[in-house]
Amino acid sequence: MNQVKIKSPGTVANLVCGFDILGLALNDPYDIMEFRLLDEPQVIIHNRDHFELPTDPEQNVAGVVLQAAIEKAGGNIGFEVTIEKRIKPGSGLGSSAASAAGAAVGANLLLGNRFSTDELVQLAMIGEKLASGVKHADNITPCILGGITLIRSIYPMDIVPLATPDLFVTVVHPQIEVRTADARQILKQKVLLKDAIKQWGNIAGLVAGFMRNDKALISRSLEDVIIEPVRSILIPGFDEVKQQCREAGALGGGISGSGPSIFMLSETEAIAQDVAGIMKAIYSRIGIDHYVYVTTINNRGVEVVEGEWSMVNS
C-alpha cells in the first residue's frame, strides 16, 4: 500500500468529571485525510478546506507528527497528505487531535502497521503539544481507538478502553473563541479536598455506569464540581443550555474539551433531537452563530475509507 484515505473523528475530552482522563469519539463531525508514501524524507501538506492552516510541516499539527513518524521509521521515507478538515479548529471537538491522530494512524498504515497503540498515542501527542502547548492524550486516545477511553496515566502511558454505551450525543458549537491556553490558565492550581472527593466519587460512578451501561448511574455521575464552575463562565448560555437539556431528558453533559462546544448525552434519538432544538433556540435568542450535531458514540476510531481519490499530484 502506498496511499490511503482515512476518516478521523471528532472527540469530546474532559468528559465532565473526567478532566484530563476521559474522552469519547463522535461519529460526526470528522476530518478526511489522504496520505501517499514518498521515497524521500519530506512532508508535503495540502489543505482542502477553508481554514487556512499552515502547510509548513513544522507549523502543522499533522506535519510534526509525520516528521516524527519518518524519524522513528529510520528517515528514508516521506509523506504527502491532503487534509479536508471538517472539525472546526477551536471548537473544543478535538480538531487538532483528529489531525494528529489521523497523521499517526495514516503513517502507520503506509509503514505496514509497525507502531503499537502506545506509540501511536505518543506520536500524536507531538501534534497536540504544537496545538496547545501541552502533551495531552484524552482526545487522541478515543480518536484512535473509538469508544470511551480512560487515560489512567500519561507517564507511564496507561490507556484503558472502557466501553461504547449506546448513547446519543448532541453537540452545540457556539461560534465564539475560547483558547485552550486561556481555558487552562483560568483553572486554580489548588482545589478543596472535599470537592476532589466529590469529583472522584463521580468519576468512579461514571466509569461503573459506562461499564454496566447503567443510564441512571451515568446520569447521576455526570457532575463536575471543579472545572466546570470555573470554565463555564467563558461560555455564554452554558447554564441555561445545561439546565434546559437536563429538563428535556438528557442524561447530562458539559463542556467539550476546553470549550466552547457543549455536549449532552441522551438515551434516545428523540431526546437528542429535542436537546438540539433547545441548543439552537438558546443561541439564536442570544444571537451567537452556532452549529449543532446530533450523533452517536463512534466505536471504531480512525478508519480507512474508500471513495474517489482526490490527492493533488506532487
Looking at the Cβ atoms of 44 and 225, the one nearer to a copy of itself is 225
Looking at the Cβ atoms of 185 and 313, the one nearer to a copy of itself is 185
Q: Which residue has the cell 437528542?
A: 272
Looking at the Cβ atoms of 85 and 136, the one nearer to a copy of itself is 136
Query: Is 180 among the catalytic positions?
Result: yes
Q: Which of 76, 185, 189, 314 binds a copy of itself (CB under 8 A)?
A: 189
89 is in an annotated binding site: yes
The yes or no reply on residue 186 touching a copy of itself (CB under 8 A) is: no
Cβ atoms within 10 Å of 149's Cβ, excluding its own: 30
CB of 154 to a copy of itself, least distance (A): 9
Q: Which of 198, 215, 246, 280 binds a copy of itself (CB under 8 A)?
A: 198
Query: What part of residues 3-22 is at the interface with a copy of itself (CB under 8 A)?
Result: 17-22
The yes or no reply on residue 235 touching a copy of itself (CB under 8 A) is: no
Q: Which of 1, 204, 270, 286 binds a copy of itself (CB under 8 A)?
A: 204
Cβ atoms within 10 Å of 71's Cβ, excluding its own: 10
261 is in an annotated binding site: no
Query: Active site residue: 180, 228, 267, 295, which one?
Result: 180
Nearest to 274 by CA among 251, 255, 299: 251
Looking at the Cβ atoms of 207 and 297, the one nearer to a copy of itself is 207
Q: Which of 62, 87, 150, 272 binds a copy of itself (CB under 8 A)?
A: 150
CB of 197 to a copy of itself, least distance (A): 5
Cβ contacts of 143 within 8 Å, gap of 6 or more:
8, 9, 11, 25, 94, 97, 98, 101, 102, 124, 301, 302
Looking at the Cβ atoms of 197 and 286, the one nearer to a copy of itself is 197
95 is in an annotated binding site: yes
- Determine contact, residues 192/165, Cβ cutoff 8 Å: no
Query: Is 247 among the catalytic positions?
Result: no
Residue 180 main-chain phi, psi, to 5 deg: -55, -45
The yes or no reply on residue 208 touching a copy of itself (CB under 8 A) is: yes
The yes or no reply on residue 190 touching a copy of itself (CB under 8 A) is: yes
147 is in an annotated binding site: no
- Residue length of the chain: 314
CB of 41 to a copy of itself, least distance (A): 37
CA angle 204, 208, 209 (to 5 degrees): 115
- Looking at residue 144, its amino acid is I
Residue 183 is placed in which grid cell? 481555558
* Distance between CA atoms of residues 311 and 253, nearest Å: 38
Nearest to 106 by CA among 66, 67, 73, 70: 66
Q: How far is CA 280 from CA 8, 98, 195, 269, 292, in A?
A: 26, 26, 33, 16, 7
Number of residues forming the site for a copy of itself (CB under 8 A): 40
Handedness of CA 87, 149, 5, 60 (dihedral sign): positive
The yes or no reply on residue 79 touching a copy of itself (CB under 8 A) is: no
Query: Which letter does DSSP use for residue 40 in this model?
Result: S
CB burial class (10 A; 0-12, 13-18, 19+) of residue 275?
Answer: buried
Query: What part of residues 211-230 is at the interface with a copy of itself (CB under 8 A)?
Result: 211-212, 217, 220-221, 226
310 is in an annotated binding site: no
Binding residue positions: 88-98
Q: Which residues contact a copy of itself (rule: CB under 8 A)? A: 17-22, 150-153, 158, 160, 162, 187-194, 196-208, 211-212, 217, 220-221, 226
> Looking at the annotation, which residues are catalytic?
128, 180
